């Protein structure tokens, strides 16, 4: 369905697998520093502050704060296959989660971590603080042989992207997709169909992109000029050059649409 590049044979990320949870020399080490990442290396010094990320290619993988992390996620994406990139993204999200979840929201005591479970528990009242994924719907809207692309005012403002937005409490994914599309570009859609999902570390810890295709029903695209600066129909066989990067779900969906277009 999608044209993503597969990872190397046998490569797999198994988050939270309960294996041998003592770091060993030679295990995977994922360096993290704020929004920066480093190429996966080997653990040379197994210390207690390594954060368990999962199992990868039969070895345990650990995240650690390190000055060797100098690359942003998109830069790292140029060097890594999809599976390894997912591992690095998870490492970054776990480190960010731990940095921003230090105290109990109920009693203010310190939170404690017990590997392999990445989520903390309060050391005083026992409250469990699970990591809540934060779903964002991503919608590829088709109108015959055209797709709707939009430009955002923030970051990469020259890129033609898909309509996207956060799911709110009480909404289904489909309801969120319909609402976001209506709010952002004033278009009604139908025939929503789930395509794929992708954890997206660039938007903060926990962001999970959920991709849908949809059929245009009514309305001409309009934008508010604040969040979105443009929204236009493009022939699926003739998309603009500035579309989302190769490692993104939006791109996989656009590539799949392009491949299915009549020539």
For residues 89-100, one letter each, b for 16 or more C-beta atoms within 10 angstroms of the residue's C-beta and e for the rest, the string is bbbbbbbbbbee
- Binding range to Zn ion, per CB under 5 A, among 123-131, 153-161, 162-170, 239-247: 123-131
The yes or no reply on residue 122 touching Zn ion (CB under 5 A) is yes
Considering beta carbons, is residue 14 or 107 the nearer one to Zn ion? 107
Of 214, 209, 186, 188, the C-alpha closest to 197 is: 209
Considering beta carbons, is residue 103 or 194 the nearer one to Zn ion? 103
Count of chain residues binding Zn ion (CB under 5 A): 8
d(CA 67, CA 85): 19
- Binding range to Zn ion, per CB under 5 A, among 113-121, 126-134, 173-181, 249-257: 126-134
Considering beta carbons, is residue 111 or 250 the nearer one to Zn ion? 111
Q: Which of 18, 125, 202, 237 binds Zn ion (CB under 5 A)?
A: 125
The yes or no reply on residue 127 touching Zn ion (CB under 5 A) is yes
- Binding range to Zn ion, per CB under 5 A, among 26-34, 122-130, 178-186, 200-208: 122-130
The yes or no reply on residue 42 touching Zn ion (CB under 5 A) is no
Considering beta carbons, is residue 120 or 211 the nearer one to Zn ion? 120
Q: How would you write 189-257 as a 3-class SS string? A: EEEEEEEEEEECHHHCCCEEEEEEEEEEEECCCCCCCCCEEEEEEEECCCCCCCCCCCCCHHHHHHHHH
d(CA 258, CA 244): 14
CA distances from 20 to 58, 145, 182 (A): 11, 52, 49
The yes or no reply on residue 129 touching Zn ion (CB under 5 A) is no
**Scanning residues 98 to 117, which ones bind Zn ion (CB under 5 A)?**
104, 106-107, 109
Considering beta carbons, is residue 113 or 234 the nearer one to Zn ion? 113
Q: Residue 28: phi, psi to the nearest 5? A: -70, 140
Binding residues for Zn ion, rule: CB under 5 A, are 104, 106-107, 109, 122, 124-125, 127
């Amino acid at each position: 369905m999608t044209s993503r590049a597969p990872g190397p044979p046998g490569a797999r990320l198994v988050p939270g697998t309960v294996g041998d949870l003592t770091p060993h020399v030679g295990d995977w080490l994922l360096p993290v520093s704020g929004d920066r990442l480093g190429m996966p290396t080997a653990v040379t010094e197994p210390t207690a502050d390594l954060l368990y990320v999962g199992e990868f290619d039969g070895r345990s993988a650990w995240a650690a704060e390190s000055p060797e992390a100098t690359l942003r996620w998109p830069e790292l994406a140029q060097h890594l296959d999809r599976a390894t990139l997912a591992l690095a993204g998870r490492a970054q999200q776990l480190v960010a989660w731990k940095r921003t979840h230090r105290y109990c929201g109920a009693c203010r005591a310190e939170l404690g971590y017990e590997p392999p479970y990445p989520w903390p528990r309060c050391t005083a009242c026992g409250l469990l603080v699970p990591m809540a994924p934060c779903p964002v719907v991503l919608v590829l809207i088709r109108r015959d042989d055209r797709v709707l692309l939009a430009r955002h005012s923030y970051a990469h403002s020259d890129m033609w992207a898909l309509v996207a937005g956060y799911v709110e409490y009480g909404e289904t994914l489909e309801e969120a997709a319909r609402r976001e599309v209506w709010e952002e570009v004033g278009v009604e859609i139908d025939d929503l169909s789930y395509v794929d999902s992708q954890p997206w570390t660039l938007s903060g810890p926990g962001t999970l992109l959920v991709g849908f295709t949809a059929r245009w029903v009514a309305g001409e695209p309009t934008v508010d000029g604040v969040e979105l600066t443009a929204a236009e129909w493009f022939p699926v066989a003739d998309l603009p050059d500035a579309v989302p990067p190769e490692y993104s779900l939006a791109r996989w969906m656009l590539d799949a649409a392009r491949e299915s277009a009549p020539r």
